[in-house]
Structure 1
C-alpha cells in the first residue's frame, strides 16, 4: 500500500468519526437514548471483530487490559450518553464541543506527570480552548457567568458526562502510550462497552420500543459502520501513512463534526458557535504543536 493512499484512508477515519454526533442523534431519535446507543455499539463490535479478529488476550499487559478497559468503557459511555441525553439537536452539538477538551487535557496531564516538558504555548492553547467553549455556550449574547450556568443547569447530566469524558479520554491516551505495548484492543473494548450498555438498559427496565421506520435502521447501520471503519481506517493511516499530517488534521474534528451534524440534523449554527468551535480547534492544535516543538 502506498504512503499517500494510506494517508488518504487515515483522513477518511476523521470524517467517519466526525459524523458520529449527527448519526448518533438520528439513531437515538428513532430507537430511544439507551436502546439506540446499545444497538450502535453492538453492531460496531461485530464489525470490529470482523476487521481486527478477536484479540489474543495473552499478548496484552494485564494492567493495560484492566485499566484500559475501565477507562475506554467509561469514556464511550460518557460520550454516547451525553449526546443521547441532550434535550435537542442544538444542545447535542454544543455538548460535543465540550468533549474536545481532551487534546489540551492530554498535554496538560503529560506535563503534570513529567512525561512532557512545559511550553508556554500550552497556556495559550488551554485558554483558547476554554474561551471557545464559553463562546459556544453564550452564543450571540455578551459574556455572563449566570448565562453559562443557566445553560448547563438546563441539562447537567449531558454536560457533566461530556466534561468528565474529556478527562477520561486524556487519561486513556496517556495510559495506552505508556503501557499499551503497541497492541490494538479496540475490538475487545467495544464489546465491553456494548455489554455495559446492555446491562444499563436492562437495569433501567424501559423496554418500550417507539414506532420504528426504515430510516432509523439505515442510520443505525451507517452509524455502526462509521465507528468500525473509522478505527480500521485510522489504524491503516498511522501504520502506513503520514502520521504527522493525520495527527494535525485530527485536531480539526470539532469543526468538521459540527458541519456534518448541521447537515444531518438540519440545524442553523450561529456565527458565534463557529467562532467558539474554531477557538477550541486552534487551542487544541497549539497544545499539540507545543509537544512537537519540544520533541
Structure 2
C-alpha cells in the first residue's frame, strides 16, 4: 500500500475516533462528574498527545497563533465537554452534540466572509439546510416543531447554549489559525491548557468525589484515546494523505457520531432525529461543494 493511501486511512481512523467522542464524554461524565471527568479526560489525552504528536518549543510558534489559538481552542473544548456533561439525559447529550456539529457549515461561511474563500449560490441552500436540520433535531419526534424546539432548549439552555457557542468558536479557530499558524500544530499545548482550566474549575467549584471504578477507567482511557489519538491521526492524514477524501469524509461525522452515541449510551433516537442529522450533513456537504466548484488550488477549507 502506498504511503499516501496509508496516511489517508489513518486520517479516516481519526474521523471514526472523533465520531465516538460525544458518547464517550457523556459516559465519563456520568461516572466521574461533568467537570472532574472532563479534567481527567483532557489530562490523559494530553499524555497521549505528548507520546504521539510530541512537543514543540513555545519559541517556535508564531506569537499570534500561540495567543489566539490557545484562547479559541481552550474555550471551544470547554464548551464541548461541559455542554455534553451538563445534559440532563443521554438523549439530550446526543442532541447537544448535534448542535455542536454546525461547526463545519459555520467554518465554511466564516472562510467565505473573512478569508476570501470563493463560492457559488449553493452556499445559501447548504447553510439553510444545516440550520433546518438542527431545528428538526430539536423539534423532537414531530420533526420541525417550533414549540417543541423551544421547550427542549428551555429545559437546559446551558447545554444547548454552550454547544452552539462552541460551534461558532471552532469556526473562528479554524478561520483564524488558517492564516496565522504558519504550519505549526499546537494541539498538545492546547490540550494541556484545557486540562489546567478544567482542574481550576473543578477545584474552585468545590470539586466532588470521583469514584474510579473499572468501568470509569475504561471509558476514561477510551475517551482520552479518541481525543488525543484522533488529533494525532488527523495530522498525519492531512500532511501525507488525500486531503480531498478526508475533507469530504469529515462531513459525515454528525451521522456517525449519532450512530455510535446511541450504541454507547443505549439511547434510542427518533426517525425525526435521523432526518435532522442527515440534513445537517447534507447542508455541510452542499457548502463544501459550493467552495470546491470555484477553487483553483490549495487545500479544502476544513483541514
TM-score with structure 2 length normalisation?
A: 0.94
Q: Deviations over 1:221-277 (max 9, x none)?
A: 111111111111111111111110000000000000000011111121111111000
**CA displacement at 1:143 relative to structure 2:** 3.5
SS in 1 for 2:142: coil
**CA displacement at 1:220 relative to structure 2:** 0.5
In the aligned structure 2, how far is the partner of 1:166 from the partner of 1:52? Answer: 25
Matches within 5 A, 1:26-175: 26-113=27-114, 115-141=116-142, 143-175=144-176
In the aligned structure 1, how far is the partner of 2:11 from the partner of 2:241? Answer: 7
Deviant stretches of 4+, over 3 Å = none
In the aligned structure 2, how far is the partner of 1:9 from the partner of 1:245? Answer: 12
In the aligned structure 2, how far is the partner of 1:162 from the partner of 1:76? Answer: 10
CA contact (8 A) 2:133 2:277 kept: yes
State how many pairs are aligned: 294
Q: Deviations over 1:26-56 (max 9, x none)?
A: 1111111111000000000111112122221
TM-score with structure 1 length normalisation?
A: 0.97
SS in 1 for 2:87: coil
In the aligned structure 2, how far is the partner of 1:40 from the partner of 1:116? Answer: 35
Which sections of structure 2, spanning at least 5 residues, go unmatched? 296-303
**1:272 maps to 2:252:** no
**CA displacement at 1:111 relative to structure 2:** 2.2
In the aligned structure 1, how far is the partner of 2:35 from the partner of 2:144? Answer: 35
Q: Deviations over 1:52-76 (max 9, x none)?
A: 2222111111011001100000000
**1:238 maps to 2:238:** yes
In the aligned structure 2, how far is the partner of 1:201 from the partner of 1:37? Answer: 10
Query: What is the match of residue 229 of structure 1?
Result: 229
In the aligned structure 1, how far is the partner of 2:127 from the partner of 2:121? Answer: 10
Judging changes above 3 Å, is the alpha-carbon distance between structure 1 residues 227 and 114 closer, same or farther for their aligned structure 2 residues?
A: closer
Query: What is the match of residue 24 of structure 1?
Result: 25
**1:5 maps to 2:21:** no
Query: What is the match of residue 208 of structure 1?
Result: 209
Which sections of structure 1, spanning at least 5 residues, go unmatched? none
Query: What is the match of residue 180 of structure 1?
Result: 181
Judging changes above 3 Å, is the alpha-carbon distance between structure 1 residues 116 and 54 closer, same or farther for their aligned structure 2 residues?
A: same
**CA displacement at 1:112 relative to structure 2:** 2.0
SS in 2 for 1:187: helix
